[in-house]
Amino acid sequence: MNPLVTPDIGLVFWTTVSFLVLFFLLAKFAWKPIMGALDERERFIEDSLSKAEAAKEEMSRLTSENESLLKQARIERDAILQEAKKVKDQIISEAKDAAHKEGARQIELARIEINNQKAIAMADVKNQVAALSLEIAEKVLRKQFEDQSKQDALVADLLKEVKL
């Protein structure tokens, strides 16, 4: 028989003994550290997964918080813009009212000034007409009274009209 195909009993014995010794040594010195390292690695992975889940929940919370803050900021922005529009419209309205009042006041002042200037001009025209009338009358009378006989006749007529 071929010794490689069928092992000898001594070979089997010593192989078994060396296997058991190796198994005992591995169990005594290597099995606990390997299992400890595997347990530690498993705990580390579980910790990492739980931390990742916590981070994911925190991100979700922060995202929803950011969205609510963004909505609130938009609402505040809209309120501020609406208030600014109201203030702008009020300022424009007040400016228009003030401009209308000032325009009406200026028109009234101009009307009063026109009336005053008109009255002054009318008085001046009346004075000029009166002066001109007096001047014309004076010239007419001088012309008429150049002759002494006419003057005597006028005085006589006036004396007849006046009764004492």
Residue 16 falls inside a structural domain:
yes
What single-letter amino acid sits at 3? P
Q: What is the pLDDT of residue 130?
A: 86
Residue 157, in any domain of the structure = no
Rounded distance between C-alpha atoms, residue 132 and residue 138, angstroms? 10
Number of domains in the chain: 1
**Residue 148: inside a domain, yes or no?**
no
pLDDT at 4: 61
Q: What is the DSSP string of 36-56?
A: HHHHHHHHHHHHHHHHHHHHH
Please indicate, yes or no, if residue 161 is contained in any of the structural domains: no
Calpha distance 151→144 (Å, rounded) = 8
Render each residue's pLDDT in the chain as its tens digit; 164 residues: 555 677 788 888 999 999 999 999 988 888 888 888 999 999 999 999 999 999 999 999 999 999 999 999 999 999 999 999 999 999 999 999 999 999 999 999 999 999 999 999 999 999 888 888 888 877 777 777 777 777 777 778 877 877 65
Q: What is the pLDDT of residue 163?
A: 65
Residues contacting 15, CB < 8 A, separation 6+: 7
Give residue 38's domain range. 9-126
- Could you tell me if residue 137 is inside a domain? no
Residue 63 forms part of a structural domain: yes
Question: What is the residue type of 63?
Answer: T
Distance (Å) of CA 86 to CA 52, 79, 92, 125? 50, 11, 10, 57
User: How far apart (Å, rounded) are the C-alpha atoms in residues 107 and 114?
Assistant: 10
